[in-house]
Amino acid sequence: MVSKDDFVQGFVPNHNHGSVDYTSVSDGHVHQCLDVTSPPIKIENDNHVHYTEGYVVFEDEHTHHYQAYSGPAIPVGNGMHVHYYDFYTTETNGHRHHVKGVDQPAPGNK
């Protein structure tokens, strides 16, 4: 069993990533985006991505939906990796928001 404090070389099946971020400013406000990804989806070159979907936190009397895939795994040392994300929310009340950043590290360097 792999715990959050274990540093693992290689690929760890069935892991996920969390993130806490804010959207871009649009229409004079931002939303917080709290997220947990799907388990890994294998891609070419012995790498993987994650799918995510959800809603940003209610703000300014509305919310926005999003659906996105992360970029491939990026090793960050000590047997951990992260993923870059870059997506837009759905349009609500005549505007949408941009969300980009890096998720929290997870075990495995691939």
- Counted residue by residue, the chain has a size of 110
CA 90, CA 104: separation in Å to the nearest integer?
A: 24
Give residue-wise pLDDT tens across range 24-52: 999 999 999 999 999 999 999 999 999 99
In the chain, where the domains are located = 18-107
pTM (global) more than 0.85: yes
Q: How many other C-beta atoms lie within 10 A of the C-beta of residue 51?
A: 13
Tens-digit pLDDT profile for residues 43-96: 999 999 999 999 999 999 999 999 999 999 999 988 899 999 999 999 999 999
- 2-22 residue pLDDT tens: 666 666 788 989 999 999 999
Return d(Cα 106, Cα 10) in angstroms, integer: 12
The predicted pLDDT at position 9 comes to 81
Amino acid type, 86? D
